[in-house]
Structure 1
Amino acid sequence: MKKLFRLPLLALALASVSLASTSCSKDASDSLAVQAHDQNTMMSIMHDMMKMMDAMPKTQDPDQDYSMMMVMHHKGAIDMSQEELKNGKDTQMRDLATRIIAAQQAEIARFNTFLAGHKVEAPLVPAFNTRQQMAMDKMMRANDLRVITGNTDRDFAQLMQDHHQSAIETSQAILDLGRHAETKALGQQIIDSQMMEIKEMQEWLLKNKGY
């Protein structure tokens, strides 16, 4: 009688564990839908930006190359922010996108003004381009490791962090290796503002990550 009594209890316990496991699995899948990277609009923007930057002729003048590269890099951020405004729903992320567009359009204007009055200078500094390429490669690896959901607000907050981090690292390179006050001032401005924006996106994701 004891054996007959214990077996149903054991079966009941195993069934309960199985149901709990199924429930948890279902909840997890419901809260995190995954989208293929090649189907995601923001990832496409990132890849298109990288193609343009990779095709940019390098002069080995750090101030020249930094300015040219950041114009393209900023255009990528603006395109991503416009996609957020088009399809995003979260008020905070839409506000951030609006601020990014305004700030980076103003910085593009300053970079273009610098480029219009600047000529490539010697000695050449290939170390800048090495650091810049490392930052961009790191950005794309980080992007490729992100779990993309197709939720515009969430994808924007994730991918823009990596985009900003590459700008920060490249801007630090211009502070170390650049020769002009204007590019250094822009570099410091980008570091300061984008570090704060990364913090804002991280805090938003912790509250709204959906899993």
Structure 2
Amino acid sequence: SAERRLLDSPSRLLGLCKAHTYRTDIPMAGFVFGQSLSSIWHWCADQMMVQRTMAARSLSHAQGGCLLASVVKSTLLYVFVMPGMIARVLYPDIIACASEEACEKACGERSGCSDVAFPLLVMRLLPEGVRGLMVAVFLAAIMSSMDSIISSTSTLFTLDVWQPIRRGKASTKELLIVGKVGAGIVVALSVLWMPLIQAINGGGGFYYIQI
């Protein structure tokens, strides 16, 4: 098949390390410098991460939490890659779709079907009770991340935008109300933003994160 010839072609090996004109979607220089800076910002300066660290009981707890998070993070390569590899082997017609038309027919996205790899494994391989458990795990993870993001956004807007506007005259009750309203606005804007995510690059979530 065309996909097999592509994988077997020696000219395609180590494409990431070749000139930037070879792989316009993943240029080597852009990946090394861009992703490195993005990762440093996310793990060291993101308000959500900083706020969680500052909520620790003590300095030793904060340091231990950061070290534990780094250890857990080092395993995510296998968590991200292995399910996709397994799904690609078990369901090549869906996950390994070779053309935009085939991908759109298989999962409704022209950019690829990698986003459905893990849900496909859950729905087709796990028994019914375990499926429900996995759904509960997903919901818990989403809620844990969302409440941190909303809390951080509310804090930033209240302390860095509203309080300077009020020149320090805002009461605690006023700041609390503004924070809740700001959080609600952020949630509403996030919902309205979803069609744009779906429209970018065929709806691929991973590609949108890299933008």
Q: Same fold (TM over 0.5)?
A: no
TM (normalized to structure 2)?
A: 0.30
Greater Rg, structure 1 or structure 2?
A: 1
Higher RCO (C-alpha 8 Å, min separation 6): 1
TM (normalized to structure 1)?
A: 0.30
